[in-house]
């Protein structure tokens, strides 16, 4: 189910270089704090799926950075996401849930789509199959690895900061 959801959400443009990473068997997520990714905070917007994608991230507070996402197409909300990057002991995890435009959930009640932390660099964070990069103060790229059966391809989702 995770593959289908990611495919639906992020099939925006093909990426030629590999930007996403995975943990190897037995590898643990590295130490990191929310301050390492506080640059994600803000109001971001871009075009996707023939509509407008909007994402709003809070600054770190209470061991998390929460976000909301919506896709508006033909002047109607297609779907929402709500999620967070959560500080868990000495590392982080990205978790999200999806909702239809009428707020009916896609995942089961207690289920989330989880992305474990792989690596943190200045202005770039790698979760399993999901990378966020601050290009400059007003642009952020998200790269997502899409798995479809036996094949996988990486796609790019580009945001611009909303003033």
DSSP class of residue 162 equals -
pTM as predicted = 0.83
Residues 6+ away with beta carbon under 8 Å from 147 = 3, 6, 129
| Tens digits of residue pLDDT in 53-72 | 899 999 999 999 999 999 99
Domains and CATH numbers, the chain: 2-161 (2.40.128)
Q: 130-133 contacts: CB < 8 A, separation 24 or more? A: 130/20, 130/94, 131/19, 131/20, 131/21, 132/37, 132/40, 133/19
| Tens digits of residue pLDDT in 84-140 | 999 999 999 999 999 999 999 999 999 999 999 999 999 999 999 889 999 999 999
């Amino acid at each position: 189910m995770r593959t289908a959801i990611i495919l639906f959400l992020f099939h925006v443009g093909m990426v030629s270089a590999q930007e996403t990473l995975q943990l190897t068997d037995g590898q643990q997520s590295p130490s990191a704090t929310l301050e390492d990714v506080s640059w994600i905070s803000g109001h971001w917007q871009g075009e996707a799926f023939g509509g407008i994608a909007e994402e709003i991230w809070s600054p770190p507070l209470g061991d998390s950075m929460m976000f909301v996402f919506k896709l508006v197409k033909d002047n109607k909300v297609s779907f929402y996401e709500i999620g967070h990057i959560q500080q868990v002991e000495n590392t982080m995890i990205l978790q999200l849930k999806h909702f239809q435009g009428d707020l009916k959930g896609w995942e089961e009640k207690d289920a989330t789509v989880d992305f474990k932390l792989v690596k943190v660099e200045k202005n770039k964070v790698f979760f399993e199959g999901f990378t966020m990069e601050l290009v400059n103060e007003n642009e952020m790229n998200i790269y997502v690895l899409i798995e479809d059966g036996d094949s996988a391809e990486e796609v790019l989702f580009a945001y611009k900061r909303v003033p």
